[in-house]
Amino acid sequence: MNRRVAQFTLLVLVFVFALMGVSCTQQPTGNGGSAASQVSGRRRPTIVFMTDFGAANDAVAICRAVIFNIVPEVRLTDITHQVTPFSIEEASRFLAGVTPYYPPGTVFLVVVDPGVGTSRKAVIVKSKKGQYFVLPDNGLITPVIDRDGFDSAREITNRDWMIQAAVSSTFHGRDIFSPAAAHLAAGWDYHLAGPEVAQLVQLMPKSSTTTDKGIEGDIIGLDDPFGSLVTDIPVEEFKKLGYSLGEKVTVQINKKSVSLPYVKTFMDVPVGELLLYIDSRGRVGIAINQGNYSKKFDFTPPGTIFIPRKAASIKGK
């Protein structure tokens, strides 16, 4: 009897240790768990997507399908797909504006690629913040790297990281960038995507110039759908001109003078009136309260702007 008890006890112990071995070797799954935690630090990886494809065709939907086929559990969200076609500068501005609000490990997929099919590189870039960027090497990443720092980059040349079919010369968003972003989100080691890229293409964005007469800058975009003008004049430089809230500021837009009240927010002027304000990103903006400046004055960026110092005459520019 004692012998049978001993044998039974031994079998139980073997079974328990076997279960412990399995539990130690398996990856914890959690909620929606996957190997992507190597990249994202979370159980569900995040891809943030931006293009100039628009919504009038199936391009965005196809890219999404490619991604979901590779990493079904991904959280896929968008910046916009309405970037002005071919505008690398606008896309870089949107990307730099969004990235501070996402954590390390986020994968940004950006396809604004007027050089598609040429010798320009398709790359994965890692910032010192620990975010990843899958995009063409055409300067898109410049403002982010200038702010967050450059960790490393790889050119996407490994066919395993691309669509498993013939690669088109005109739709790398589907064939290279989307699958690469998906594999990265799925936990693949991006060092295996291809050779190291030591130097990225640099974008040379325009910046305003402050002189003893005032600030010369550029109108770099529209705050759509409202049609407000976005300038490259930072609030720190504007404050040097000496204006106080409530005062009128005479500015030149494409060398045409207009007098605008400098106010804190839109409803500080009557509906339909013009205003100059500091936008949510800390730049000088020009708008119409509950109106569309761009449509009313038939204005399309780019354009120039000059704001004189408070004591200076705009005629003296």
Q: What fold, for 209-316?
A: Elongation Factor Tu (Ef-tu); domain 3 (2.40.30)
- pLDDT value, residue 281: 87
CA distances (Å), origin 169, targets 19, 176, 233, 257: 52, 10, 39, 47
Tokens of 17: 């240790």
- Pairwise CA distance, residues 94 & 23, whole Å: 45
Residue 120: partners with Cβ closer than 8 Å, 6 or more residues away: 113, 136, 137, 138, 201
Place of tokens 């200038």: 146
Q: What pLDDT score was predicted for residue 206?
A: 77
Q: Taking Cα atoms as reference points, which of 67, 27, 23 lies closest to residue 45?
A: 67
In degrees, to the nearest 5, what angle opens at C-alpha 280 toward C-alphas 296 and 236? Answer: 105
Domain-by-domain residue ranges, the chain? 37-192, 209-316
What would the CATH number be for the domain defined by 37-192?
3.40.50.10790
Is residue 188 classed exposed, middle or buried when 0-12, 13-18 and 19+ CB atoms within 10 A define those classes? buried
One digit per residue, the tens of pLDDT, for the chain of length 317 reads: 455 545 555 554 544 444 444 333 333 333 333 343 344 445 689 999 999 999 999 999 999 999 999 999 999 999 999 999 999 999 999 999 999 999 999 999 999 999 999 999 999 999 999 999 999 999 999 999 999 999 999 999 999 999 999 999 999 999 999 999 999 999 999 999 999 999 999 998 778 999 999 999 999 888 888 999 999 999 999 999 999 999 999 999 999 999 999 999 999 999 999 999 999 889 999 999 999 999 999 998 889 999 999 975 555 45
Token representation of residue 67? 């991604």
pTM of the model: 0.76
